[in-house]
Amino acid sequence: MSNRNYKFEKRQKDLAKKKKKEEKKQRQLARKQASQENSDGDTPEEGAQDNDAVEESAPEESAAEEKTSA
């Protein structure tokens, strides 16, 4: 029986990790670019969602201001 070549196995494992990391980076970059493209051409649905988020945060801010002024 031959001995295991641990250095070779480690090298292969490291290469697989590096490849996986690079693929993940590419996916994230593609997703970021897609979101930027979508933000350039706002659709009415996206705009409505953004307005809801602003309206929801406004009452919290006014409640905080009331506490500080009291």
**What would the pLDDT profile of 21-62 be if each residue is shown by its tens digit?**
999 999 999 999 999 888 876 555 545 555 555 555 555 555
Q: Hey, where are the domains in the chain?
A: 6-69
Chain-centre distance for alpha carbon 1? 49
Chain-centre distance for alpha carbon 68? 35
Measured distance CA(42)–CA(4) in Å, rounded: 58
pTM beyond 0.85: the answer is no
Say what the pLDDT of residue 21 is: 98
Say what the pLDDT of residue 70 is: 46
